[in-house]
């Protein structure tokens, strides 16, 4: 490891340690994580904006050897991740609730009020179903939108001014490497990684789900770097 790696790890440890050791920070975090108002979405924006962007920096470190570089656009990426994080938190709520209706049709009398009283097998079945539904119907759209915004940021050299120009969705979608997008990002990572990863997510108490999903953004950064390497070598 290089000096920059130790610095990155040290910074991560300090930030995490502050939230665990500083009582006011910990209380604020838990209060907003359990909030049933706009604070929940503000915190989702911050979680994904920070953690998922850090994941992309790690991905850049894997592919290019640095955590940031000119034109990478850390701030625009953080804004995109924050917005996507709000969308993900909404999707998690929708699919978590909707899966109860599906399982009810299958003969299981489950609800948000009694799922915690069920045996581990039933809870695992529920969490797996939520993960499969969300990653099958929502994840491909989310991943494609993220790829479009990522391309837009790179085309405008990572500048904030360029980021706020209109996105050429049609042109970018037409020129995407759909071979990598389908054969690696969709066909492999969704069933082999995201299905089990988000099964764990939905086994957790609701106040920790968005945080864990944001932490998975670190893994996504690694996946994206591998996908970019595949594209480069194609």
Q: ∠ CA 208-35-196 to the nearest 5 degrees?
A: 25
Give the integer Cα–Cα distance in Å for 55 and 221: 4
Give the integer Cα–Cα distance in Å for 166 and 215: 30
The answer to whether the beta carbons of residues 44 and 86 sit under 8 Å apart is yes
Residue 232: pLDDT over 60: no
Comparing 178 with 16, which gets the higher pLDDT? Answer: 178
Mean pLDDT across the chain, nearest whole number?
Answer: 89
Name the H helices within 22-155: 23-33, 38-64, 74-105, 120-137, 139-155
Give per-residue pLDDT as tens, 181-229.
Answer: 999 889 988 999 999 999 999 999 988 888 888 888 777 767 766 666 6
The SS3 call for residue 14 is helix
The answer to whether the beta carbons of residues 34 and 207 sit under 8 Å apart is yes
Give the integer Cα–Cα distance in Å for 81 and 50: 8
The two three-digit tokens of residue 172, written as one number? 């970018």
Distance of CA 152 to the CA centre of its chain: 19
Q: What is the pTM of this model?
A: 0.87
Nearest CA to 77 out of 135, 13, 162, 4 is that of 162
Give the integer Cα–Cα distance in Å for 145 and 151: 10
The confidence band for 34, taking pLDDT boundaries of 50, 70 and 90, is confident
What secondary structure letter does DSSP report for 225? H
- What is the residue whose two structure tokens read 């938190």? 89
Per-residue pLDDT at 9: 78
Give the integer Cα–Cα distance in Å for 53 and 40: 19
Percent helix / strand / coil, the chain, rounded to 5: 80, 0, 20
Per-residue pLDDT at 2: 78
Sequence-distant (≥ 6) Cβ neighbours of residue 218 within 8 angstroms: 51, 52, 54, 55, 58
């Amino acid at each position: 490891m290089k000096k920059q790696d130790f610095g990155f790890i040290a910074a991560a440890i300090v930030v995490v340690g502050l939230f665990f050791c500083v009582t006011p920070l910990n209380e604020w975090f838990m209060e907003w994580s359990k909030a049933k108002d706009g604070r929940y979405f503000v915190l989702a924006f911050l979680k994904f904006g920070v953690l998922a962007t850090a994941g992309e920096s790690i991905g850049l470190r894997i592919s290019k050897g640095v955590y940031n570089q000119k034109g990478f656009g850390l701030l625009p990426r953080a804004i995109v991740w924050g917005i996507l994080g709000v969308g993900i938190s909404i999707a998690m709520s929708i699919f978590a609730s909707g899966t109860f209706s599906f399982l009810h049709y299958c003969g299981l009398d489950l609800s948000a009020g009694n799922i915690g009283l069920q045996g581990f097998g039933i809870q695992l079945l529920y969490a797996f179903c939520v993960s499969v539904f969300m990653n099958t119907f929502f994840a491909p759209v989310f991943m494609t939108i993220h790829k479009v915004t990522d391309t837009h940021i790179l085309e405008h050299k990572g500048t904030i001014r360029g980021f706020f120009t209109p996105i050429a969705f049609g042109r970018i979608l037409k020129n995407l490497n759909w071979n990598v997008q389908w054969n690696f990002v969709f066909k492999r990572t969704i069933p082999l990684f995201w299905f089990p990863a988000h099964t764990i997510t939905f086994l957790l108490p609701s106040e920790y789900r968005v945080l864990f999903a944001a932490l998975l953004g670190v893994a996504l950064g690694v996946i994206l770097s591998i996908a970019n390497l595949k594209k480069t070598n194609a």
